[in-house]
Amino acid sequence: MDKQNRKAVIAGNWKMNMTPTDAGHLLDHLIPLVADAGCEVVVCVPATDLCVAVAKCSGTNIHVGAQNVHFEKSGAFTGEISADMLTDLGVEYVVIGHSERRQYFAETDETVNKRTKAALAGGLKPIVCVGESLAQREQGVTEELVRMQVKIALNGVSADELKNVIIAYEPIWAIGTGKTATADQAEEVCAAIRKVVGELYGEDAAKALTVQYGGSMNAKNAEELLSKPDVDGGLIGGASLKADQFAIIVDAATKG
């Protein structure tokens, strides 16, 4: 991490886990464990947990994020949630384009772009996910694919808006599989993300961009991954559901 130039962010993606009651218990446990964190701490919770999370985290150093946002302000979109609805609750961040959204719910690069712009217009900070499948990595197209995903996701996003964007590199083959990209693999792709952002917005903007690694980051491997200069934090899945494990990752980012 390069804390002199950009913010380190550890964000937990709870996915479809935790009832509101469970969420309250987990946050009660987590809040004191990360109270002295030297990085930004975010919990991205299911929609049903947002009210509990915002209430519990009020007055603490933990920020609350959602896991999806629609690209229209309102309308006949049954089951969707708008940026205005989220910000009115007190939500600050939102995960966009996670591979599970792409794989199971027909998310595309184009809808990722539309959601990103809607999130920014609504006052949210998007965590935009990019990453390759195992087949694509084996075909040697990782960098080309990630460059394309970043370019499309940021199409129409201004340099000023970019200051509120986080990009998370999530190799699909390492999400929920227990497999993790090596620290060198993570650094290589995070650096490539920063490079393409530099081409689009200039070196100063690229230097200020927070780029996370996601993909089975856990308490054991976080320190090594976060030691890399272009890895500015993590988007944490399973380990974010255990307060003590998540706190170890936050501590690694604090020390890094």
> Which residues form the catalytic set?
98, 170
Q: Are 61 and 37 in contact (CB under 8 A)?
A: yes
User: Cβ contacts of residue 24 below 8 Å, gap of 6+?
Assistant: 52, 56
The token pair that represents 45 in the structure block: 């919770």
**What one-character-per-residue DSSP string does 117-147 give?**
HHHHHTT-EEEEEE---HHHHHTT-HHHHHH
**Nearest CA among 246, 183, 248 for reference residue 11:** 246
Helices 20-33, 243-255: crossing angle, 10 deg rounding: 40
